Amino acid sequence: MLTSLILIPIIGSFLILLVSDETIKNQHQMKQIALTTSLINFFISLFIWYQFDSNTTQFQFVSEFNQLNFCHLNFGVDGISLYFVLLTTFVTPIALLSNYNNIIKNLKFFLVSFLLLESLQICAFVSLDLLLFYIFFESVLPILFIVIVIFGHGNDRFRSALLFFLFTLAGSLPMLLSILVIFNFVGSTDFQLISLYEISLDSQKLLWLGFFLALAVKTPLYPFMIWLPKAHADSPLAGSIILAATILKFSTYGMLRILINFLPDATNYFGPLLQTIAIVTLIFSSFSTIVQQDTKRLIAYSSVAHMSVITLGLFSNTIQGIEGGILLALAHGFVSPALFICVGGIIYDRTGTRVINYIRGLATYMPIFTILFFIFTLANTGIPLTLNFLGEQLSLIGIFELNPLVAALGATGIVLSACYSLFLYNRVSYGNLSPYLSPVKDLTRREYYLLIALLIPTVVLGILPNVILDSLHTSVSALLYSF
């Protein structure tokens, strides 16, 4: 089943390549193929979730391909990777629908790119080999680079794409060196073999720094965050959705799978340093968010703040903190794409601008949009009955047990997130309609369904979190045991 989950988007890409894109009818056919393929993948992932046995720590649905001497593919899921796979398959059709009517030129390349991105992301989350994880970790970079350059906005998009590509590629080189060192120690890069091997503390420290540098750039943590706002601001809406929802979660998954699992002593040793970096990132990005005038940059900086709270939870050495970090990562994967759809899709399509000073009084002509935008704004601040609230609270409770001062500083992010989120909502929604804007139409049916599709899991999982937590307890407990 995992093999089909990986191959179906690739098959859909080949079917799209066979269709000529000369006529509008053929373009519509290609869109239907891409959307149908991504939805089939989502339903398969739901079936995997249904069949998943949460009472064991073993990898399940394991599939191997070792017919070639130079290539040994080994895939499987456990309680941690399962939800990142579900998030990927859920967000991909939403990303395709978000630009359903905007992309006309190079449509075939656009659709094929996002289907291939889905396969590569799933491979990264289900790989049971460290070298394979690195390959798929990096494989999304060239596709996203080309997507930003071809389909992005503004004259500065090439520089933004280059920053994104170079920052993440350069940051990942120490990871590759660390993987080669582990291969030299263990003689293999297989996850289960590495977990059985005992590495000395001095060696763990050097390996930890190599892996952490790559994951800190991808998270991103201070001072490696300069690439993210620019990449978000200049990428197409679908690119921003994928980048916020799943690409940033590579680092979350890598921290759980590599740093905590394989290098527990070094993780414990560098804990205070990591907490300090996360707090600095949280406060710096929150204040940077408040002064932003570009709506997409504002949401991008808020993503950095949320990712720093996730980092605090993951390295709290408590079951509450780690599960809270995973919950907040999933919540961010729902709410952040919704906010990008609101500001970078709906508002931008109607007004032609993302500058907050030029947008005002949208509630007059867009009441339904304003209500949904308000709900997602509150979810972004972490109000009760949303998954964001549970994720933030569990993360902060977990880190409070380890260090109350760090938890108190981390809690300032809740207040600051309310400041910048409500500031954005209030400025664009109320007051007299801006003289720079003509009257605008409310949500279309497609936009309404997109926002509702993201709202339902945010609220339902916020009320019934045990749907996720019951499957996480065994895997997270096994992580803590090794830690």
pLDDT digits (tens, 9 = 90+) for 238-274: 999 999 899 989 999 999 988 888 888 898 899 899 9
pLDDT at 365: 86
pLDDT digits (tens, 9 = 90+) for 412-451: 888 888 888 888 898 888 877 777 778 888 888 999 999 9
Would strands 71-77 and 60-68 be described as parallel, antiparallel, or unpaired?
Answer: antiparallel
pLDDT at 279: 93
Residue 68 CA to residue 259 CA, distance in Å, equals 30
Burial class of 37 by CB neighbour count within 10 A (0 to 12, 13 to 18, 19+):
buried
Bridge partners, residue 127, by sequence: 75
% pLDDT > 70, the chain: 98
Chain centroid to CA 62: 24
pLDDT at 69: 58
pTM of the predicted structure, to 2 decimals: 0.92
pLDDT for 360 beyond 90: no
Q: Which of 260-264, 289-293, 296-300, 459-463 has the highest mean pLDDT?
A: 459-463
Residue ranges of the domains in the chain?
1-478
Residue 7 CA to residue 264 CA, distance in Å, equals 35
Q: What tokens appear for 191 in the block?
A: 């996850």
pLDDT digits (tens, 9 = 90+) for 116-167: 999 999 999 999 888 889 999 888 999 999 999 888 887 788 888 888 888 8
Residue 411 CA to residue 271 CA, distance in Å, equals 18
Q: What tokens appear for 376 in the block?
A: 């997602």
Q: Which of 90-94, 130-134, 222-226, 292-296 has the highest mean pLDDT?
A: 90-94
Bridge partners, residue 355, by sequence: 294
pLDDT for 483 beyond 60: no
Q: Are 243 and 88 in contact (CB under 8 A)?
A: no
Residue 462 CA to residue 287 CA, distance in Å, equals 27
pLDDT digits (tens, 9 = 90+) for 40-59: 999 999 999 999 888 888 88
Mean pLDDT (the chain) is: 88
